[in-house]
Amino acid sequence: MKLNPFSALCSNLVFLLAPALLAQGSPMPPPPLMQFVREEVKPGHGAGHAATESTWGRILAQGKSTDHYLGMNALTGSSEALFIMGYASYADYEAKQNEFEKNPAIRAEVDKISQQDGEHLNAIRTWLGAYRKDLSFGPDVDIAKKRYFRIRTFRIKQGQNKAFEEGVKTALAAYAKSKYPASFAFYEVTAGTSSPSFIVLRPMTSLAEMDGMDAAEKAFQEALGEDGRKAMQKTFADTVNSVENQLYAFNPKLSFPGPGMLASDAAFWTVKAN
């Protein structure tokens, strides 16, 4: 299956999570602010990293943290783990970062496990992204029922943000016209990178979902029309520096889901104590 660039972009977006990220186990709108933390795991340290992350989650639960997050392992690209957490605002983000400052005992435990975790890592990178409702489309999802993420990062040429966004909006109109069977979510990176970037997410229950998109893609292409397809290709070439496309598998041992998410699919998300 071959997709044109903007088709590939939009077919891999999704409505994600609520401001209390992963706290609920039902379809909810995306959080206004998202933090992405990418950890480069040393080869052969996957099991050790998962063990320290699982301990981290237990420490946060003991400290009654409300800063829930979802962790996953990369299936493609380099050896890495990715964590995502959502916030209602920058003030909410700041408050969550400072949760343990008034709890020295838990703070000490967090510092200790952070040091142990670092022994398994080569590098850590963090981004903040703002939800772009105007570039998004489709119904919410119950993230607790999903098992994979397909994530694309678009790095935009300087000064080309608006042109890129207009291209996406044109594509979204064609998706609406074709009644495309997917949900889209778009996050514009606001900190953590040196060039304008957008992060695009699509959760999947199974990787088999990637096998059945030909009919929907054909309908989208027909909705665009010949002129629309040419315009999409030109806009993409004029505005985008590079695209990174990765697959991730959710890992309960790397996650700290909220009670609602646990209730939605306890069998998957509950980590049994060793």
What pLDDT was estimated at residue 251?
95
As a whole number, mean pLDDT of residues 72-99 equals 93
153-182 pLDDT, tens digit each: 999 999 999 999 999 999 999 989 999 877
Distance of alpha carbon 39 from the chain centroid: 14
What average pLDDT does this structure show over 268-272? 87
Tens of pLDDT, residues 188-225: 999 998 889 999 888 889 998 888 788 888 999 999 99
Show the domains of the chain with their CATH numbers. Answer: 5-259 (3.30.70.100)
Residue 84 sits at φ, ψ, to 5 deg, of -130, 140
- pLDDT value, residue 273: 67
Residue with tokens 């962790």: 71
Residue indicated by tokens 């609406």: 176
pLDDT tens digits, residue range 130-156? 999 999 988 888 889 999 988 989 999
Tell me how far apart the 2 most distant CA atoms of the chain are, in Å.
64
Task: Say which DSSP state 271 is in.
Answer: P
